[in-house]
Amino acid sequence: MKSVALHNLGCKVNAYEFEVMQQNLQESGFKIVPFDSEADIYIVNTCTVTNIADRKSRQMLHRAKHLNPDAVVVAVGCYVQTGAGKIEDDSCIDLAIGNNRKKEIVDILNAFLKEREEGKGTGRAGDIIDISKTTEYEEMKLERTAEHTRAYIKVQDGCNQFCSYCIIPFARGRVRSRRKEDVLEEVRGLAKKGYREVVLTGIHLSSYGMDFLGETKGDYLKGTGDLRQEAMDRGFLLSLIEAIAGIDGIARIRLGSLEPRIITEAFAQRLAAAGKVCPHFHLSLQSGCDETLKRMNRHYTAGEYYEKVKILRRFFENPAITTDVIVGFPQETEEEFEQTRAFLEKVRFFEMHVFKYSRRKGTVADRMPGQLTDAVKTGRSAVLLSMEARQSKEYRASYIGKEVEILTEEKKEIGGKTFWIGHTPAYVKAAVEDADGKLAPNMLCKGRVTGFVTDEIVSLNFSGK
């Protein structure tokens, strides 16, 4: 029995695919061991969203070869898909597997090992398709997950947006959606195993199902043309959410990152009516300045984005709105940055993921004049991170005195006391004291928020009734 050590980098879609790969390897007879231990095979599920992600991917691959120079080191995923030259020149990599080939990892790995044992080939190999030309959704099925309460479900892959800074369409290809029946079958199976919360994820989740119309190119959310109207009328994503809400055992549904333009009065109304959708919405912003948004090739203005936030706040009570913001985009002036800062103050997010602009070779933004220094990016990032910490604390504090419900996830000692930690529907982390030892994971506990246990965890007064 050969031992395999796996390491994952990147987004929730990567995490889902990682867990399925690990599951398939284990079921095929491979022994799964920790990544820091000596193994026969090391598999790194890579990321390429930023230069830092590329560097981390290389570091983990080199670390694996250092742990066992005789091991087979396998690079999988986005870094492989976009860095063919780098992969070929890296002697630490024995086998490279691109995207849309992860479900075949057992067969690909076994074939490679057989050739190596028989002395065939060069000792190095690759399996990388032209991701830009495939229309096939890579069907994978998760039967269990490392988390005991929450399961991430991949329902969509690829992106047609081509934001000027983003390499992901080149790594993931065009929009491809998973069949509704396959998603529901997976969710039902997880519900039977006791999972009570699911999170729908995708590279561009808002485009889910729109390729079912037979059109695989272009921006599905652009304008008011027949294609967009037909897609909106059918409500592919809404229909999927409503069907999941009807599955026994599922108490909560969370959504991955949403394109702001998908939010309409009708969309929000149906989400609220589904009953199980958590009031926790990640609407990617990137900038609060219209000129910067144009250079980014985003398809909305700051004003239009704010209208979408207001719609969600009308249909959900105090929803948690989170976002991504890029600072130091090419040509971003102090005035443009100030517009973004002021806009973020106006919207008041629960959480903001602040990124310093990272140049990606092959993107439009990489060729733009007016590239800013790292010092400028770092300074602007610090301003927004300070704002984020303040706004996040204020949002958490807004729940003091209110009754909420958490789904218990982990036991933790804080200040000499034993607590069970979980999240509210709005994804606020809360702690319930377990003085008598009667609590357990995957329990729904309702109570009143009384204050803070730590800066990031509120306390919940749970009576046990």
pLDDT at 379: 98
CB 409 within 8 Å of CB 149: yes
Residues of the chain with pLDDT under 50: 224
Q: What is the pLDDT of residue 436?
A: 82
Structure letter (DSSP) for residue 307: H
Encode 70-104: b = buried (16+ Cβ within 10 Å), e = exposed.
Answer: ebbbbbbbbbbbbbeeebeebeebbbbbbbbbbbe
CA separation for the pair 147, 60 (Å, rounded): 23
Please report the pLDDT score of residue 204 as a whole number.
Answer: 96
The fourth-level CATH superfamily of domain 3-129 is Methylthiotransferase, N-terminal domain (3.40.50.12160)
The structure tokens 């930690």 sit at 421
Same fold, 3-129 and 150-396: no
Note the CATH architecture for domain 403-461: Beta Barrel (2.40)
Residue in 242, 102, 249, 103 with CA at minimum distance from that of residue 189: 249
Listed in sequence order, the residues at least 6 apart from 91 whose beta carbon sits closer than 8 Å to its beta carbon are none
Query: What pLDDT does 389 receive?
Result: 97
Cα separation, 140 vs 138, in Å, equals: 6
Q: How do 72-77 and 41-46 pair as beta strands?
A: parallel
Q: Tell me, what's the pLDDT at 84?
A: 72
Question: What pLDDT is attached to residue 122?
Answer: 61
Of 20, 281, 15, 57, whose CA–CA distance to 143 is shortest?
Answer: 20
Residue 211: per-residue pLDDT:
87
Average pLDDT taken over every residue of the chain = 92
Q: Do the beta carbons of residue 76 and residue 83 sit within 8 Å?
A: no
Which fold does the domain 150-396 belong to in CATH? Answer: pyruvate-formate lyase- activating enzyme (3.80.30)
Delimit the domains of the chain by residue range: 3-129, 150-396, 403-461
Q: What is the DSSP string of 47-92?
A: --SSHHHHHHHHHHHHHHHHH-TTSEEEEEEHHHHH-HHHHHH-TT
- pLDDT the model gives residue 119: 74
Q: How far is CA 444 from the centre of its chain?
A: 25
